Structure 1
Amino acid sequence: MIMKFLKKIPAGMMVVPMLLGAFINTFFPQVTGIGSFTTAIFTSAGANAAIGIQLFCLGTTLRFREIGGVVKRGGVLLIAKFIIGAAIGIGVGKLCGPEGLLGLSALAIISAVTNSNGSVYLALMNSYGDTVDQAAMPLLAINDGPMLTMIAMGAGGLADIPFMALVAAIGPILVGMILGNIDKDLSDFLAPAGSILLPFVGFCLGSGMNLTNIAKGGVQGILLGLITCLIGGAFIMLCDKFISRRPGYAGWAVATTAGNAVAVPAVIAAADATWAPWADIATSQVAASAILTAILVPIITSWWAKKYGCPKFPKDEAQAALFAKD
């Protein structure tokens, strides 16, 4: 009964637990904060460990010959998301100044649009994509944080992100890939674990969200989420279709705002004090965008994947044969 319900909802295995975790964190945070294993599993404290295990198990299914496809597909998504976020944000900043347009500053726009929720992407690729799509998730982790935002705003950034942080992000999938290529039996054993962990990852991520942030972000926060999802998503989808020659479902799947992006305005303000007056409001707007896009993007991605095709739901025999070659 529960499984049938979850399967009817786009990326339901992750989205429903995420919303449940956000609801509990918003109204009954003491329930999961009692300590020990309960806090470790059912709060944001366990998110990184669960995602790391997911990536390790995914890595065991990835063959060395697929690395080129991972870099190409993931690179297009990463660059396209950066370009659209930077273009909109810089355009607003140049034309309207630091106050921004309709209450949305360049700081808020770039922070939200250039950062994607990797866990939502991974869950959607598990439902609609293939192993190459899934393996692109660590590459997309490059946009998770202040680095690309700082670059887009001309405040540097590369020196503030240690190289080892990138190595740490891709470490689990590389170790898993090496072991999986050495022993296929190990790959077959661990492959299902990636899907099994989806509801745990979703709940952990939701436990780091507060639903009241949508209200705090106001209409501008909702508008920011729509810009991130609809305008940003449409551009990334077109790049996915015409550059990567894919149906576009992966482009929509990265049209989210990362939960970590909530901290980006404060980081930018610390690096450039002239943005300090707009940091607090930008933070609440980015938080609203993170929650809204985590709800909207799975719905849009599911509809698009089923209408225009994907590895799990090819629209015709010719497309199925094409995906089989990939």
Structure 2
Amino acid sequence: MIMRFLKKIPAGMMVVPMLLGAIINTFLPEVTNIGSFTTAVFTSAGANTAIGIQLFCLGTTLRVRDMGGVVKRGGVLLISKFVIGAAIGIVVGKVFGPTGVLGLSSLAIISAVTNSNGSIYLALMNSYGDTVDQAAMPLLAINDGPMLTMIAMGIGGLADIPFMALVAAIGPILVGMILGNIDKDLSDFLAPAGTILLPFVGFCLGAGMNLTNIAKGGAQGILLGLVTCLIGGAFIVLCDRFISRRPGYAGWAVATTAGNAVAVPAVIAEADPSWAQWADVATSQVAASAILTAILVPIITSWWAKKFGCPKFPKDEAQKALFEKH
């Protein structure tokens, strides 16, 4: 009964536990903060570990022979999301200064738009994509965190970011990929764990969210979520369709704000203290965007995949043959 319910909801295996975790963290945080294994598994304390293990297991699915397709599809999604987020943020910063426009600073915009929720992407690709789409998730994980935000703000001259602060934690992906290519049996053993961990990752990420942040983020936080999803998503879909020659469902699937992005404004402010006075407001706005896009993106992706086709739901025989070929 539970599984049937989760399968009816776009990315339900990820989104439902995430919302449950957010509800508990908002109204009854003491339930999961009793310590020991309970706190380790059912709070945000376990998020990085769960995501790291998930990325390691997914890394084992990356084959050298498939890297061309993975890099092409994932690269287009990664670069287009970075470009649109950086472009909007840099323009706002250059034209309106650090205070931004309509209550949104360039710090908030770049933090939200350049960071995607890889776990939601993976859940959606399990429902609508193919193995190459799924294998692109570790590549997309590059934008999950402060690295690309730092790069964008550094390139735009909006912040002074030390080079070493740009180093991303991609160790689990690389180690998994190396081991998976050395021993396919090891890959076959570990690969399913990437999917199995989805509800755990979802709950842990949700346990780091507070639904009141939508209120704290105010109208600006909602606006930021809409910019991330609709403006950022539309640009990524165009790139996915015209560069990758894909239907565009994967483009919508990355039009989220990562849960980890909530911590990005503070990281930027620590690296460049001149942003400290805007960090708190940006944090609440990014949190609102993370929650809003986690709800909107699965709905939009599901509708788009069924209307314009995807490997799991080809719209005609010609498209089905094309998907089977690639």
TM-score, scaled relative to structure 2: 0.92
The CA deviation at 1:46 is: 2.3
The aligned residue for residue 242 of structure 1 is: 242
The aligned residue for residue 28 of structure 2 is: 28
Task: Give the counterpart letter for 2:301 in structure 1.
Answer: T
The aligned residue for residue 90 of structure 2 is: 90
The aligned residue for residue 174 of structure 1 is: 177
1:197-212 maps to which residues of 2 (within 5 A)?
A: 197-212=197-212
1:177-192 maps to which residues of 2 (within 5 A)?
A: 177-179=180-182, 181=184, 183=185, 186-192=186-192
Comparing 50-59 and 86-95, the one that deviates more: 50-59
1:267-286 maps to which residues of 2 (within 5 A)?
A: 267-286=267-286
The aligned residue for residue 161 of structure 1 is: 165
For residue 145 of structure 1, give the secondary structure of its aligned residue in structure 2: coil
Q: Give the whole-Å Cα distance in 1 for the aligned partners of 2:287 and 2:261.
A: 8
Q: Does the 8 Å CA contact 1:214/1:222 hold for their aligned counterparts?
A: yes
1:140-182, CA deviations, whole angstroms, 9 ceiling, x for partnerless residues? Answer: 222222222222222354713364x44414235314522553x
1:1-326 maps to which residues of 2 (within 5 A)?
A: 1-153=1-153, 154=157, 155=159, 157=161, 159-161=163-165, 163=167, 165-175=168-178, 177-179=180-182, 181=184, 183=185, 186-326=186-326
RMSD: 2.0
The CA deviation at 1:61 is: 4.2
Q: Does the 8 Å CA contact 1:116/1:255 hold for their aligned counterparts?
A: yes
Query: Which consecutive unaligned segments of at least 5 residues does structure 1 have?
Result: none
Task: Give the counterpart letter for 2:152 in structure 1.
Answer: A
The CA deviation at 1:189 is: 4.5
Q: 1:57 to 1:94 in 2, by over 3 A?
A: closer
Q: 1:264 to 1:49 in 2, by over 3 A?
A: closer
For residue 310 of structure 1, give the secondary structure of its aligned residue in structure 2: coil
Q: Give the whole-Å Cα distance in 2 for the aligned partners of 1:151 and 1:25.
A: 32
For residue 282 of structure 2, give the secondary structure of its aligned residue in structure 1: helix
Q: Does the 8 Å CA contact 1:62/1:180 hold for their aligned counterparts?
A: no
Q: Does the 8 Å CA contact 1:141/1:169 hold for their aligned counterparts?
A: no
Q: Does the 8 Å CA contact 2:160/2:272 hold for their aligned counterparts?
A: no
1:186-208, CA deviations, whole angstroms, 9 ceiling, x for partnerless residues? Answer: 55554443332221221111111
Query: Which consecutive unaligned segments of at least 5 residues does structure 2 have?
Result: none
Task: Give the counterpart letter for 1:173 in structure 2.
Answer: G
Q: Does the 8 Å CA contact 1:60/1:178 hold for their aligned counterparts?
A: yes
Q: 1:99 to 1:53 in 2, by over 3 A?
A: closer
For residue 244 of structure 1, give the secondary structure of its aligned residue in structure 2: coil
Q: Give the whole-Å Cα distance in 1 for the aligned partners of 2:58 and 2:271.
A: 37
Task: Give the counterpart letter for 2:272 in structure 1.
Answer: D
Structure 1 stretches (4+) deviating beyond 6 angstroms? none
The CA deviation at 1:222 is: 0.4
Q: Give the whole-Å Cα distance in 2 for the aligned partners of 1:109 and 1:204.
A: 24
Q: Give the whole-Å Cα distance in 1 for the aligned partners of 2:60 and 2:28.
A: 38
TM-score, scaled relative to structure 1: 0.92
Task: Give the counterpart letter for 1:147 in structure 2.
Answer: M
Matched residues, number: 322
Q: Does the 8 Å CA contact 1:76/1:244 hold for their aligned counterparts?
A: yes
Q: Does the 8 Å CA contact 1:147/1:158 hold for their aligned counterparts?
A: no
